[in-house]
Amino acid sequence: MPDTTSVSALGAPAERREGPAKVTGAARYAAEHTPDGCAYAWPVPATVARGEITALDDTAALALPGVIDVLSHLNAPRLVEPEDATLAVLQGTRVPHRGWYVALVVAETLEAAREGAAAVEVTYAEEPHDVTLTADHADAYVPEDTDGTSGEHVRGDAEEAFSAAPAQVDVVYRVPPLHNHPMEPHAATAYWEDGRLTVYDSSQGATTVRDVLADMFALPKERITVVSEHVGGGFGSKGTPRPHVVLAAMAARMTGRPVKLALPRRQLATVVGHRSPTLQRVRLGARPDGTLVSVIHEVASYTSRVKEFVETAAAATRVMYPSPHARTTHRVVPLDVPSPSWMRAPGEAPGMYVLESAMDELAVRLGIDPVELRLCNDTRTEPDSSKPFSSRHLVECLREGARRFGWSARDPRPRSRAEGPVLIGSGVASATYPAFAAPSHASAHAYPDGSFLVRVNATDIGTGARTVLAQVAADALGVPVERVRADVGSSDLPNAPLAGGSSGTASWGWAVHEACKRLAERLSGQQGQQLPPEGVGATADTAGTADAESEYARHAFGAHFAEVGVDMVTGEVRVRRLLGVYAAGRILNARTARSQFVGAMTMGLGMALTEHSTLDKAFGDFAESDLASYHVPAHADVPAIEAHWIEEEDPHLNPMGSKGIGEIGIVGTAAAIGNAVHHATGVRLRELPLTPDRVL
């Protein structure tokens, strides 16, 4: 292993600290904790798409050897109604969608629990269901715009300006339902001891899990500990508590045993959230030189009957290009579908796929180079809010990407390059993602032996959070990083927001930085004195700073370039090259940052070429429920991806000067690939993914 002990500077490519524990199997994930006497649970999903439970017979299940108990609405503890209605499991007879949990079997072994689940007999009064999203659905409504990303925003008279524009693009695109499918399925191991609840949960934010369980079980927060020490990915699906953690806690309380519940992969598609499909119409009006005069982006997505979720696909259009006239509209249709939720770059990923595809269509229409079209529509102020950008280096990303990619050698004519039956093309797309930060707490301690400890309930979802937080602390303290330990992943640590919205490092790092600065001050006042054996500490709470309304619009930007080969015999699209250049503030760890970018671009490649899910109209649930049918990219699908960034100094963010990097990599990737397919073939495909049946 390379020697990294000398790596101390913020930005250095420090290796992730838990790496050896993970590759040797020493790292314990939520389902790998097996307390003494642990029992195993298996859920029973509803087998109708909408209706009411009229009878539930658990006699046969209870008679099976090893089955301990069957939980259902008949006997499960009544919980305080949660704000998130997807967590109100086994509380009533209503079935809002197929796959909704109606029972949970607890047994001595996993096998007995699974057998028991199959033996539970549930009778339903079935009702007609509707799971079909259409843009003109009678129940469609414009949702309330609570945070600026939803609802409808209007500038000027977009329709009028579009009609009068010399160049027009008016296109409709469709993005199918997509699933997060983290490598580690959702899992929780729960036990009660002396009125205290301890849960090992696979979550992106254990503080919220703890708080929600406290509310639902009417317990003081101090009597609950939620541990999420290692998490095998979440991509948004673990961003808030999911039903499994409530079920595990309920089952442990009812049986008096520790209970382990790992959701079967085949149930994930239905119960942990997914990306809603979107139907999107974009109209771009431009002058002959490419200057936009009107932008209209209309999005239809669905939500479940359980709770409202809006896939805010038009939000990024409010950020990207200036235009005197614009309208961005979200419409939501409540259907009898599984509840959609966050999936990596919720809103931005499907929305920018469509906006950036439409921009390519406009470039082709006008005979303008697609990089140039974006350069000539740059702006220093955010179009929607008129706020100045704290920093925006989209132009630099496009230029640097074009240089590295060899864009100037490109013949703009479609079908201009071929190798045998393989048509070769290249495409470009812009990317953006907001720079969020949420209030966090952290503490920092100094010990007599010269070591330091920072504590914050951050979650490392595979990103290297502990490593970068140690770097942030070392930088703030002015000490070598190997003298700093970072404790994360337990709700007993200082409260912190989730690893989501690309905001984790900014939020936790801010608090860690503040705590370390305070600690450094205390230490400088004690110079020359021996520290007490228990050390010296300081805490910080960034509420009021991290959350402050900024006078600046804060977003990361990027540019994606793709080269594809389209086999005109088989219809197969292969990505031959993929390159991203990002402007995301200061990059705090070059190694883990690159990994984030490449991972997200890989996910964008899957979105472009293979990933899709089908809501069966009659069945009312997804046809693709495992990794044999829902195709995420395999190694053979992924070329050597290049991720680069430009040095961006932005004083209006946080003490580290960083923007989030977890999501922007997926944002423009699918459009760059789709635009490359058009360049290769001359055919514009407006529905993802670009599978052979569509290409041929």
Residues lying near ligand MOS in the complex (CB under 6 A) are found at: 204, 235-236, 239, 342-344, 346, 500-501
State in angstroms the smallest separation of the CB of 346 from ligand MOS. Answer: 5
Tokens of 173: 């695109």
State in angstroms the smallest separation of the CB of 309 from ligand MOS. Answer: 12
Q: Where are the alpha helices (DSSP H) in 51-149?
A: 59-63, 110-119
State in angstroms the smallest separation of the CB of 501 from ligand MOS. Answer: 4
Q: Which is nearer to ligand MOS, 304 or 463 (CB)?
A: 463
State in angstroms the smallest separation of the CB of 390 from ligand MOS. Answer: 20
The CA distance from 162 to 284, in Å, is 7
DSSP-assigned states of every residue in 143-163: ---SSSSSSEEEES-HHHHHH
Per annotation, catalytic residue among 18, 356, 361, 663: 663
The CA distance from 388 to 400, in Å, is 23
State in angstroms the smallest separation of the CB of 459 from ligand MOS. Answer: 10
Q: What share of the chain is helix, strand, coil (3-state, %, to 5)?
A: 30, 25, 45
Tokens of 390: 């704290």
Q: Which is nearer to ligand MOS, 236 or 350 (CB)?
A: 236
The CA distance from 490 to 262, in Å, is 19
Q: Per DSSP, what are the bridge partners of residue 275? A: 178
State in angstroms the smallest separation of the CB of 345 from ligand MOS. Answer: 7
Name the CA radius of gyration of the chain, rounded: 26
Active site (annotated) includes residue 551: no
Structural contact between residues 301 and 315, judged by C-beta atoms closer than 8 angstroms: no
**Residue whose token pair is 């496009």:** 398
Give the CA angle between residues 622, 628, 633 to the nearest 5°: 100
State in angstroms the smallest separation of the CB of 155 from ligand MOS. Answer: 27
Q: Per DSSP, what are the bridge partners of residue 585? A: 658
Q: Where are the alpha helices (DSSP H) in 262-301?
A: 265-271
What region, left, alpha or beta, does residue 627 occupy, with left being phi > 0 and alpha being psi -120 to 50 degrees? alpha
Q: Which is nearer to ligand MOS, 284 or 600 (CB)?
A: 600
Q: Which is nearer to ligand MOS, 344 or 555 (CB)?
A: 344
For the sheet with 452-455, list strands across it: 484-487, 452-455, 441-446, 536-541
Using H for helix, E for strand and C for coil, what is the string for 425-484? Answer: EEEEEEEEEECCCCCCEEEEEECCCCCEEEECCCCCCCCCHHHHHHHHHHHHHCCCHHHE
Residue nearest to ligand MOS (CB): 236
* Residue among 435, 362, 384 at smallest CA distance from 167: 362
Q: Which is nearer to ligand MOS, 501 or 674 (CB)?
A: 501
Q: Which is nearer to ligand MOS, 277 or 346 (CB)?
A: 346
What region, left, alpha or beta, does residue 233 occupy, with left being phi > 0 and alpha being psi -120 to 50 degrees? left
Q: Which is nearer to ligand MOS, 290 or 346 (CB)?
A: 346
State in angstroms the smallest separation of the CB of 236 from ligand MOS. Answer: 3
State in angstroms the smallest separation of the CB of 183 from ligand MOS. Answer: 15
The CA distance from 455 to 445, in Å, is 9
Structural contact between residues 177 and 615, judged by C-beta atoms closer than 8 angstroms: yes
* Residue among 158, 171, 188, 222 at smallest CA distance from 38: 188
Q: Which is nearer to ligand MOS, 236 or 558 (CB)?
A: 236
The CA distance from 87 to 272, in Å, is 10
Q: Which is nearer to ligand MOS, 263 or 373 (CB)?
A: 263
Q: Which is nearer to ligand MOS, 496 or 564 (CB)?
A: 496
* Residue among 349, 345, 347, 293 at smallest CA distance from 321: 293
Q: How many CA atoms lie within 13 A of 626 on its CB side?
A: 5
State in angstroms the smallest separation of the CB of 340 from ligand MOS. Answer: 12
State in angstroms the smallest separation of the CB of 504 from ligand MOS. Answer: 9
End-to-end, the C-alpha distance of the chain in Å comes to 48
Q: Which is nearer to ligand MOS, 253 or 274 (CB)?
A: 274
Identify the sign of the CA torsion 198, 201, 205, 211. negative
The CA distance from 579 to 685, in Å, is 22
Compute CA 69 distance to the chain's CA centroid, rounded to the nearest angstrom.
36
Active site residues: 663
